[in-house]
Structure 1
Amino acid sequence: MNQDDDATQQRRALIYGSCVTRDAFQLDGLPALHAYFARSPILSAFGPRVAALPDGLDLAALSSSFQRSMVQRDIQKVLPAAMRALDDEVVIIDLIDERFSVVEVNGGVIAMSVEAKKAGLTPRGGVLHRPTDPGFMDRWRVAADRMASALEGKRVILNKAYWALQDETGAALSDRFDVNRNNEILAAMFDHFEGSLDSAVIEYPADLLTANSQHRWGLSPFHYVDSFYEHFAAALRTI
């Protein structure tokens, strides 16, 4: 191991985002993992806490302790304090989980993640905010600026991953997933962060934004071929 690899591994990482970033940390030579926050889009993570849990929401319905933890941390809004408390850790952000809607209920907001819905969360009795709704981006920018403020003075890397248009066989994904619309939203979000957040950026050649039809998590526009994760790891080591 050379000195650069050693320095990289000595610094710990907080990942805010999704498996897009987390899966790459199985590769060698990357920082130790300090914390991983997923399934909590920015509009929820930096929004107000609910005064009481909505009727029907029961975290005990989730058999996975990791899934319970993700939903619980979203409900309790622990991310802002966790980011402000960082010292030498590097923060790596991807925006894939910004695809989730957020329900405004009981004076606060909760992410409508797959896990939260499995635990019984519904929009019933609340107001649903979808990323495709008019006015959503105005709300999102306010929350994103709160995040930028929490990260002021921290070491931040923006993992600029877009949804894949096709898998490695050349099969188009747009007939099963709303790839183009989600990438339009991601582009607006990335543009905002690059103008408001002091960060390094990891970008990808178009050919690496390819889905892996045999990915262990299943076919999805954000479950990529191995070369995608290898590119991320190499770029992280050089930043």
Structure 2
Amino acid sequence: MQRVFIYGSCVTRDGVELWPDYGLELAGYVARQSLISAVAPSRPNDFDTSTISSPFQRRMAEGDIRGNVVAKLTSNPDDIDLILWDLTDERLGVYRVPSGGYVSRVVDYTTGIYKGRPALDTPIRIGTNEHRTLWEQALVEFLASLENSRVRDRLVLNAMPWALHDEEGASTRTTANDPEAFNAVLAEYSAIAERHGVRIARPDVQRIRGAREHQWGAAPFHYTQDSYRASLDAILQVL
């Protein structure tokens, strides 16, 4: 079994139940942390995470604030055989924190979690020139940290696109989530990562379908079982 650390989102995590068929086992998981916030942590005293009721969501928010994923990936490199990374939790961009650093907007810090002054500024949205520049700079720093710990060659980007349609052919687009727009950004950012030497697993898009009865509800990033298998097939092909 290969021991896998997921840095990403439910896009990769929700397929874990199929992993034994592919010789994989879960060694760790960090979600809701932008690459930008991962390398540019914020000051924990500016935040109060006690209002987050879900223990998982609280841990992820605290990790995002502190930018803890790099340490988790490099502190015990002998415990990880493969790092699977996906970009879905980049979808809302980041906030620049006035006292320094960044936080990911996939965590809603504006609901009383952020206590600093002044208030969080205008979001830096994914796909903008500012976000793209910050993200590529963060990528270079991220890869250097992995290289220093000799785990860079274990990194694979799971470039699983959002589903355009569900298993019955209905559109998955909603007012909150536009899969075509996200997939265009995913392709662009994946290409940036590839130029920096990151291996990319691109599944067969014809097999990618949303699941109406997914355990977390219908969304372009909640898939059918065969979609997760398509992703895993692409990952094994890269390996």
Once structures 1 and 2 are overlaid, which stretch shifts more, 228-237 or 139-148? 228-237
* Contact 1:60-1:119 at 8 Å conserved across structures: no
Structure 2 counterpart of 1:24: 15
Distance 1:237 1:191 in 2: 20
Of the candidates 46, 50, 53, which is equivalent to residue 63 of structure 1? 53
Aligned to 1:34, the other structure's residue is in SS state: strand
Distance 2:215 2:194 in 1: 32
Stretches of structure 1 that go unaligned for 5 or more consecutive residues are 1-8
What amino acid is the match of 2:40?
A: G
Structure 1 counterpart of 2:32: 39
* Contact 1:103-1:111 at 8 Å conserved across structures: yes
Distance 1:38 1:58 in 2: 19
The percent identity for this pair of structures is: 31
Aligned to 2:24, the other structure's residue is in SS state: coil
Is 2:4 aligned against 1:13? Answer: yes
Quickly say closer, same or farther: Cα 1:99–1:170, change in 2 above 3 A. same
TM-fit CA distance, 1:138? 1.0
* Contact 1:67-1:115 at 8 Å conserved across structures: no
* Contact 1:62-1:119 at 8 Å conserved across structures: no
Q: How many residues align?
A: 226
TM-fit CA distance, 1:212? 0.8
What amino acid is the match of 2:140?
A: D
TM-fit CA distance, 1:75? 0.9
Distance 1:198 1:130 in 2: 23
* Contact 1:51-1:107 at 8 Å conserved across structures: no
* Contact 2:204-2:230 at 8 Å conserved across structures: no
Structure 1 counterpart of 2:163: 164
TM-fit CA distance, 1:49? 2.4
* Contact 1:208-1:228 at 8 Å conserved across structures: yes
Q: TM-score, normalised to structure 2's length?
A: 0.85
Stretches of structure 2 that go unaligned for 5 or more consecutive residues are none
Alignment of 1:61-210 (within 5 A): 61-85=51-75, 86-87=77-78, 89=80, 90-105=82-97, 106-114=99-107, 116-117=109-110, 120-121=113-114, 125-127=119-121, 128-152=123-147, 153-154=150-151, 155-176=154-175, 177-199=177-199, 201-210=200-209
What amino acid is the match of 1:219?
A: A
RMSD in angstroms over aligned alpha carbons? 2.3
What amino acid is the match of 2:60?
A: M
